[in-house]
Amino acid sequence: FPFRPISNGGKLKMFLLVPLALIGLLINLPVLLPVHWFVKTKIKEVEFVASLKFGFALLGFCVWWWLLASWIWDYSSRWELVIIGTLLPFISLVSLNGFLRKWKRFQTTRMLSNENLQPKYDAFVERVNLIRNSISF
């Protein structure tokens, strides 16, 4: 805080992450989709969402990646492909997370560049800075 718009390098990274993020979404969809559905339909308290997502991910991704590795081993019997086949879903999942974070920042930048919202945001930043200065020891 205050909000910093995404730089041109960040936009380039976001653009380069799109293919890997799409692969991550497609490979990990069998784990991501049931978790998303369960949280949206069954959980009413916001306090439990993060812990349930973590628990499902801890179990679900381990089982899913083990299944992928065993399928690759059954069809190829090559340990190099098993290592690549287990690392690719993990790396692509991390890139999906990076892409989503950059995308949210990009959307916030577009929203705050609106001429109606920019003065309100600047006034808010000034008020927060005044409060910070009055509290400082």
pLDDT tens sequence across 103-137: 888 887 777 777 777 788 888 889 988 998 888 66
Residue 37: both structure tokens together: 């559905």
Higher pLDDT, 71 or 109: 71
Percent of the residues in the chain that have a pLDDT greater than 90, as a whole number: 12
Ordered by start, the domain boundaries in the chain are 8-135
In 2-18, which positions are buried (b, 16+ CB within 10 angstroms) versus exposed (e)? eeeebeeeeeeebeebe
Q: Is the pTM of this model over 0.75?
A: no
Do 89 and 71 touch, CB atoms closer than 8 A? no
Higher pLDDT, 7 or 62: 62
Alpha carbons 26 and 92: distance in angstroms, whole number: 10
